[in-house]
Amino acid sequence: MHALLSFPPSGKTLKLIISKWKEWTAKELGIVWQCDFFEHRLRHDESRREKADYILQNPVRKKLVARPEDWPFVYFGDGERPQFER
């Protein structure tokens, strides 16, 4: 799974937040997760859009679909799919 996430300040570590979320989804949804995760924090010169486009291109790079908009397994917090650039 690839995701762009943002959390409000809470004093909790990202490792704890992700761990608890994975624990909950495993119990509630039966998801089997790998043991760890990789995080990449956006730097000042990186854009969210750049990273989102990279994630959306993954199924295309793996030849699962011809275009990013054809991949059905995408969720956006606002419920809207992005406008895909051609």
Q: What is the pLDDT of residues 72-84, one digit of tens each?
A: 888 877 777 666 6
Distances (CA, A) of 72 to 18, 44, 65, 84: 24, 31, 10, 14
Residues with Cβ within 8 Å of 32's Cβ and at least 6 positions away in sequence, in order, are 26
The total number of structural domains in the chain stands at 2
Q: Kindly state whether residue 7 falls inside one of the protein's structural domains.
A: no
- 34-55 residue pLDDT tens: 988 888 888 777 788 888 889 9
Q: Kindly state whether residue 72 falls inside one of the protein's structural domains.
A: yes
For residue 32, the enclosing domain spans 12-41
Contact 22, 33 (CB under 8 A): yes
**Rounded Cα distance, 16 and 75, in Å:** 23
> For the whole model, what pTM was predicted?
0.69
* Domain shared by 56 and 31, yes or no: no
* Domain shared by 34 and 54, yes or no: no
Q: Kindly state whether residue 79 falls inside one of the protein's structural domains.
A: yes
For residue 82, the model assigns a pLDDT of 65
* Domain shared by 55 and 37, yes or no: no
Query: Tokens at residue 10, please?
Result: 């809470």
- What average pLDDT does the segment 15-28 reach? 92
* Domain shared by 36 and 49, yes or no: no
Choose between 83 and 31: higher pLDDT.
Answer: 31
